[in-house]
Chain A
Amino acid sequence: QKEVEQNSGPLSVPEGAIASLNCTYSDRGSQSFFWYRQYSGKSPELIMSIYSNGDKEDGRFTAQLNKASQYVSLLIRDSQPSDSATYLCALNPTGGGNKLTFGTGTQLKVEL
């Protein structure tokens, strides 16, 4: 089992819709979770961090964490074509000392 699993996609949503990106992880002791956006040929850009169970909202983005189910998600409301990118889920594993473990990413395509 991979440490961080994401559906590679592509996930296609129409402009204005809600995009839902999901991530599951195997390390039950993980405490810190991150969503990064990566455009093709570019570097990862931090979107959200989440540490506690529940929802965390920042503008059009909402991160959701459920530690019991070992599940973290990212919702993007009012999706725009500029949101088209690969979204990387990452976590700081138990005793990980800040060495982030990444999923392989989900490619999102927002269509006009």
Chain B
Amino acid sequence: NAGVMQNPRHLVRRRGQEARLRCSPMKGHSHVYWYRQLPEEGLKFMVYLQKENIIDESGMPKERFSAEFPKEGPSILRIQQVVRGDSAAYFCASSPLPGDTDTQYFGPGTRLTVL
């Protein structure tokens, strides 16, 4: 499967726990984006990363949220001390090198439920 991969697909956490969401981009893609979709709302941009660099994190909440895309391995979206309002679908997308196309392809998403 050469598509964008995300895991876990479903994640349940209790308030105050940490959530780690992983994303492996499509083969040949070096740009990763994270979006959040709250119930009954549209997709909202969170962060844009390249390998070892955060390009744009203007959509990330100031506290508790962080993201990385290490040289080796998947991109990680980390949410510390989760609250019920963090319950949402988190989608990762990837795109090829800049100047090629800015089309983004989405992974299956991780549905986070905070109890």
Chain A, 81-101, contact with B by CB distance < 8 Å: what is the 0/1 string? 000000010101000011111
A-B contact pairs, 6 of them (CB 8 A): A36-B106, A43-B107, A97-B56, A98-B102, A99-B45, A102-B44
Chain A 46-71 interface residues, beta-carbon cutoff 8 Å to B: 46, 49
- Whether the pair A46, B108 counts as a contact (CB closer than 8 A) is no
Give 3 nearest A-B pairs by CB, closest first: A99-B45, A104-B42, A102-B43
Q: Which residues of B contact A45 (CB under 8 A)?
A: 106
Asked whether, in the complex, the Cβ of A104 is within 8 Å of the Cβ of B41, the reply is: yes
Are B48's CB and A99's CB within 8 A? yes
Residues on A facing B (Cβ under 8 Å): 32, 34, 36, 42-46, 49, 88, 90, 92, 97-105
Cβ-based interface call for B65 (8 A):
no
Residue in chain A with minimal CB distance to B46: A99
Partner of A44, one of B48, B55, B91, B102: B91
Give the chain A neighbours of B104 by CB distance below 8 A. 34, 46, 98, 100
Query: Which residues of B are at the interface with A, using a C-beta cutoff of 8 A?
Result: 31, 33, 35, 41-45, 48, 55-56, 58-59, 91, 93, 95, 98, 101-109
Which residues of A sit under 8 angstroms from B107, Cβ to Cβ? 43
CB pair A98–B48 under 8 Å, yes or no, is yes
Q: Chain A residues near B43 (CB, 8 Å)?
A: 44, 88, 90, 100, 102
Shortest C-beta distance, B33 to chain A (Å), equals: 7
A88 touches B42 (CB 8 A): yes
- Indicate if the CB atoms of B59 and A46 lie closer than 8 Å: no
Instruction: State how many angstroms separate the Cβ of A86 from the closest Cβ of chain B.
Output: 10
Given contacts A46-B104, A88-B42, A102-B44, 17 further A-B pairs with CB under 8 A are A32-B102, A34-B103, A43-B91, A43-B106, A44-B43, A44-B106, A45-B106, A46-B103, A97-B48, A98-B33, A98-B56, A98-B98, A99-B58, A100-B43, A102-B42, A104-B42, A105-B42
